[in-house]
């Protein structure tokens, strides 16, 4: 038998099985409506779950992008220090991060698509549930159990088909999300272990450690060179003494200025609790 006929039959069989369980066909209406409401809740939760996963992937993508930027900087720095070997290593790691980023981008798009599908599915189900509620009340009010049978069967088959469809969409979205969560977990672990995370001089990032080592060495050299330059340029001025003298004077004035400020603070503090005993020392200070 053909694919479409078999799939349809399986759907119909499920609907019929549920219908057969009911003694009074009108009972089916209320029972089914309850299940529809549950399914609506389920599909909305599904949308929220997929959105959460998508946001997690987004966060990881940001982290990986930062990591890429850091590797790029390391490579530049290493090249600046004439360490092409180190720069190459940094760029290789940047490329590895790019591979992971590409994978995450694919996951992100896939989750986005699932979210969209489930959102549309929930809207469709909502429209059908609303229609069912109206139909249910009409059937209950107008028909006897026997008369209602055909009408109930039709409404029930229609809605149960939609429920099966939505249920399947939720299941598929859950499966996809679960797969991605496993992979996202692995990347989280990698980021947390410091293999990707910025750890200045950390155990895991040997490139950074090496750069820091070179960097510290060259900083000393730079400072020495600067001092030598200053000494050479500053020697005649020191003999003149004017610049240094002024600077010292200013610093002295600052220090002198700080003292009265502290003193007046002490005064206000002393003035607070006891006004009269504070009077004599203040007079002494003024004199």
Partner 1 sequence: MIVRILGEGQYRLDDAAAPELNRLDAELQAAVDRNDEAAFGAALHGLLAAVRSHGSLEPPDTLSPSELILPPEDASLTEVRKMLTDEGLIPG
DSSP letters of 89-154? HHHHHHHHHHHHHHHHHHHHHHHHHHHHHHHHHHHHHHHHHHHHHHHHHHHHHH--HHHHHHHHHH
- CB 168 → partner 1: shortest distance, Å? 6
* Residue appearing with tokens 């149960």: 160
Distance CA 134, CA 123 (A): 17
- CB 186 → partner 1: shortest distance, Å? 24
- CB 40 → partner 1: shortest distance, Å? 13
Distance CA 129, CA 163 (A): 10
What tokens were used for 172?
């598929």
Nearer to partner 1, 3 or 146 (CB): 3
* Residue appearing with tokens 């909502």: 126
- CB 11 → partner 1: shortest distance, Å? 5
- CB 122 → partner 1: shortest distance, Å? 11
Distance CA 197, CA 144 (A): 70
Distance CA 189, CA 196 (A): 10
Nearer to partner 1, 12 or 183 (CB): 12
Q: Which residues bind partner 1 (CB under 8 A)?
A: 1-8, 10-15, 18, 117, 121, 123-124, 127-128, 130-132, 135, 154-155, 157-159, 161, 164-165, 167-169, 171-172
- CB 110 → partner 1: shortest distance, Å? 10
Report helix angle 84-142 to 145-192, nearest 10. 170
Nearer to partner 1, 92 or 134 (CB): 134
DSSP letters of 4-43? HHHHHHHHHHHHHHHHHT-SSHHHHHHHHHHHHHHHHHHH
Nearer to partner 1, 168 or 247 (CB): 168
Nearer to partner 1, 175 or 279 (CB): 175
Nearer to partner 1, 114 or 210 (CB): 114
Distance CA 3, CA 197 (A): 51
- CB 103 → partner 1: shortest distance, Å? 19
Nearer to partner 1, 142 or 204 (CB): 142
């Amino acid at each position: 038998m053909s694919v479409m006929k078999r799939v349809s039959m399986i759907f119909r069989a499920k609907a019929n099985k549920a219908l057969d369980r009911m003694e009074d066909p009108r009972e089916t209406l209320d029972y089914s409506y309850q299940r529809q409401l549950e399914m609506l809740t389920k599909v909305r939760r599904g949308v929220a779950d997929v959105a959460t996963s998508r946001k997690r992937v987004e966060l990881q993508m940001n982290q990986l992008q930062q990591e890429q930027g850091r590797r790029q900087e390391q490579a530049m720095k290493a090249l600046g220090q004439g360490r092409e070997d180190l720069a190459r290593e940094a760029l290789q790691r940047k490329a590895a991060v790019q591979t992971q980023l590409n994978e995450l981008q694919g996951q992100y798009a896939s989750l986005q698509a699932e979210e969209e599908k489930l959102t549309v599915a929930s809207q469709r189900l909502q429209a059908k549930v609303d229609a069912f509620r109206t139909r249910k009340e009409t059937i209950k009010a107008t028909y006897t159990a026997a008369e209602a049978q055909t009408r109930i069967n039709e409404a029930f088959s229609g809605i149960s088909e939609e429920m099966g469809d939505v249920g399947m969409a939720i299941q598929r979205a859950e499966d996809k999300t679960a797969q991605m969560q496993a992979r996202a977990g692995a990347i989280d672990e990698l980021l947390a272990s410091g293999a990707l995370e910025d750890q200045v001089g950390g155990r895991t990032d040997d490139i950074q450690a090496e750069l820091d080592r070179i960097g510290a060495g060259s900083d000393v050299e730079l400072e020495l060179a600067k001092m030598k330059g200053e000494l050479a340029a500053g020697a005649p001025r020191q003999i003149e003494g004017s610049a240094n003298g002024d600077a010292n004077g200013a610093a002295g004035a600052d220090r002198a200025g700080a003292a009265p400020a502290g003193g007046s603070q002490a005064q206000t503090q002393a003035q607070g609790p006891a006004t009269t005993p504070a009077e004599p020392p203040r007079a002494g200070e003024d004199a």
